[in-house]
Amino acid sequence: MQFIHWLWAGFLQALAKRMFHWLARPFMGGCAVLVCLSALFPGLAAAQDGGVDQPIRQLAVVIDDLGNNMAGTEEIMSLHVPVTVAIMPFLPSTKQDAIKAHERGYDVLVHLPMEPLRGKPEWLGPGAIKSSMSDEEVRRKVNEAIDNVPYAVGVNNHMGSKITSNPRIMSTVLDVCKERGLFFLDSRTDYRTVVGKLCKEKGMPVLGNDIFLDDVHTTSHIQKQIKKVELWFKNNTQCIVIGHVGAPGPKTSRVIKQSIPALQNQVQFVKLSQIVKEQGEIRIRELTAP
C-alpha cells in the first residue's frame, strides 16, 4: 500500500513538472488547466519550477471601476491571463462588461459604492451604501446591487473609507454576501477597516488588497508598484493587487500587459476565487489536523 502511494506521488510530481513547463507559456487555457489540476491533486501545488517543495506563488490582479465604459476596459478584457474585474452596479455598461468578463473566463465582483470619509458624492455612483442607512436599507441595497451584476462571485468596496470602519453597517453587508454565497474583498481604503476581523468572526474568507497599482496615475509609478509585487513574493506566497479603468486605465493595462511575461516566470496568475478556494482548503486541513 505504501509502495502504491509512493508510486502515485512520484507520478503526480513528474506530471506536475511536465505540466508546469508546458503551461508556463502565456495563454489562459493553460493556466485554467493548471488550476484544475491543482484542485484535483493539491500535492501538485508544491512541485513547480523544478523544486520539490517550492509552493506556487499566486498573483490575483483585480481591476476596479468597470461598468461605465471607462478608458482601459477593452485592454483589460483582452489580457491573456486570468483577471478579476470589479463592476459597478446600475451603470450603462454594467451588464455588458459582466457578461464579457464571464465569457473571457474572468471572475466578476460587484464593485459596491460605499460612503467615504472624504471625496465628492458624485464619485460614489448609484446604489451607494451610506452610514445614515438602517440595517434594512443596507440589506436591500446590497441585494439589489448583487442582482444587478450578472455572474458575480464576490463583492469589493468602491471608496468606502467611512463604511469599512463601521462595524454595524459592515456586518450587515457581510451577512448579505454570506447569504448569497459571495466573498468580500476589502480594498483597504482606510487603515481602521473592520472587514478582516468581521470576516474571520463570520467564518468568511479574509481577503484584502495588498498593493494598489495605480494610486498615482503615471507609468513610472505603476511600474514601481509592479516591482513591489515582485518584492512581496520574497516573503509571501499570495498577493492581491488592485488597479483601475478610467483615468489611469490605459497606462495600468499597458504596464500589466508588458509585465506579464516576466511575472509569469515567477508567479502564477489566478482569479480571486482560486485564492478563496485555497484558503478554504487550508482551513479544512487545520480543522482536521491531528
Identify the three-state secondary structure at position 185.
strand
# residues contacting Zn ion (CB under 5 A): 3
Smaller CB distance to Zn ion: residue 87 or 239? 87
Residues of span 62-101 touching Zn ion by CB under 5 A: 64-65
Encoded one letter per residue, x for contact with Zn ion by CB under 5 A and - for no contact, window 227-266 reads ----------------------------------------
CA distance 160 to 112: 9
Q: Given the rule CB under 5 A, which of 14-22, 39-47, 61-69, 252-260 is the region that contacts Zn ion?
A: 61-69
Q: Given the rule CB under 5 A, which of 72-80, 114-122, 150-158, 190-198 is the region that contacts Zn ion?
A: 150-158
**In angstroms, how far is the first alpha carbon of the chain from the final one?**
22
List beta partners, residue 270. 60
Smaller CB distance to Zn ion: residue 19 or 129? 129
Please report how many Cα atoms fall inside a 13 Å half-sphere around the Cα of residue 157, on the Cβ side: 27
CA distance 25 to 84: 20
CB of 169 closer than 8 Å to CB of 176: no
Encoded one letter per residue, x for contact with Zn ion by CB under 5 A and - for no contact, window 157-186 reads -x----------------------------
Q: Given the rule CB under 5 A, which of 60-68, 70-78, 102-110, 140-148 is the region that contacts Zn ion?
A: 60-68
Helices (H), 67-218: 73-77, 94-104, 135-148, 167-179, 195-201
Smaller CB distance to Zn ion: residue 242 or 270? 242
Q: How far is the CB of 77 from Zn ion (least distance, A)?
A: 17
3-state helix, strand, coil in the chain (%, to 5): 50, 15, 35
Q: How far is the CB of 51 from Zn ion (least distance, A)?
A: 38
Interacting residue ranges for Zn ion, rule: CB under 5 A = 64-65, 158
